[in-house]
Amino acid sequence: MSIVGAIEAGGTKFVCSVGDDNLTLIDQVSIPTGTPDDTMPAVVDFFKPYLADLKSIGIGSFGPIDIQENSPTYGHFTNTPKVAWQEFDFVGYVKTHLNDIPVAWTTDVNAAAYGEMTQIEGDSLVYFTIGTGLGGGAIQRGQFVGGINHAEMGHILVRKHPEDDYEGYCIFHGDCLEGLACGPAIEGRTGIKGQDLPEDHQVWDFVAYYLAQAAMISDLTLAPSRIVLGGGVMKQEHLIGKIHSEFERLMKDYRPTPPLEDYIVTPALGDNAATIGCLAMAKELTKG
């Protein structure tokens, strides 16, 4: 029996999984994100019982992280706001404690994009996660987009809605895409969590306007087969329709796109996109 592993490393929890060759989950555990000393021993302990059959592990991590293969700090966190994790050698730790197992390593949102790729015919996809933060990653011709660095599409400046006077939540940029459309930015304007706001609250018009711009930038830059919007904020089911309307209004029939209900969508894999993506990345490694 041959199995593959997944680590979805998020800001609040690490979800560790093992799956079979069909990417079907066999076992999974959720570990709260503490310091590396708290969290990492529990991560490797989860995988140890499977080590005899475990071929490889895919990791999708919060960031920023170093994914440049020729870099001396490949596999490390860089200047992440989570101070305890700054410069921590994530890939090195996993390999050291798990018999030098092959590791595939990318951002959490890239991993989710990779997961959603298993659900489409095409070879290109953009994935945004809109939750506590807002991140974006992309795939073209089956490979992650990114030259000297990984994508950080959450920090793009979007055009401000004329009635939105919120100063924004991003500690770097204030009112960038993340600063205007992430969960805390919704609560920051209203004092109420998104899930408790009525569907006709104006903040949803603002969020739809900003996410439609993110989709428009994705289309005009990468023209992917699919644009996936995931994360906690997208659990508001009324939101995707509002985003479709705004996208159409902004694009003004400039060029044809696929039908929007197939083109700009919520994740086919739901909350499992990143875990399935990590398993798929791990499986891809074993082909080499």
DSSP string, the chain: --EEEEEEE-SSEEEEEEE-TT--EEEEEEEE---HHHHHHHHHHHHGGGTTTEEEEEEEE-SSB---TTSTTTTBB-S-SSGGGTT-BHHHHHHHHTTT--EEEEEHHHHHHHHHHTT-SSS-EEEEEESSSEEEEEEETTEE--SSS---GGG---PPPTT-----SBTTTBSSHHHHHSHHHHHHHHSS-GGGS-TT-HHHHHHHHHHHHHHHHHHHHH--SEEEEESGGGGSTTHHHHHHHHHHHHHTTSS--S-HHHHEE--TTGGGHHHHHHHHHHHHHHH-
Tell me the closest approach of the beta carbon of residue 103 to a second copy, in angstroms.
Answer: 21
Question: Between residues 205 and 271, which has the closer beta carbon with respect to a second copy?
Answer: 205
- Stretch touching a second copy by CB under 8 A, among 8-16, 47-55, 195-203, 246-254: 246-254
Which one of residues 2, 149, 195, 286 is an interface residue with a second copy (CB under 8 A)? Answer: 149
Stretch that binds a second copy, among 46-54, 94-102, 188-196, 254-262 (CB under 8 A): 254-262
Footprint of a second copy on 92-131 (CB under 8 A)? 122-124
**165-194 binders of a second copy (CB under 8 A):** 172-173
Task: Tell me the closest approach of the beta carbon of residue 287 to a second copy, in angstroms.
Answer: 19
Q: Is 216 in the site for a second copy (CB under 8 A)?
A: yes
Q: Does 252 bind a second copy (CB under 8 A)?
A: yes
Nearer Cβ to a second copy (163/253): 253
Binder to a second copy among 20, 27, 89, 152 (CB under 8 A)?
152
Residue 83 binding a second copy, by CB under 8 A: no
Contacting positions for a second copy (CB under 8 A): 64, 78-79, 122-124, 136, 138, 140-141, 143, 145-153, 155-160, 172-173, 213, 216-217, 219-225, 250, 252-255, 258
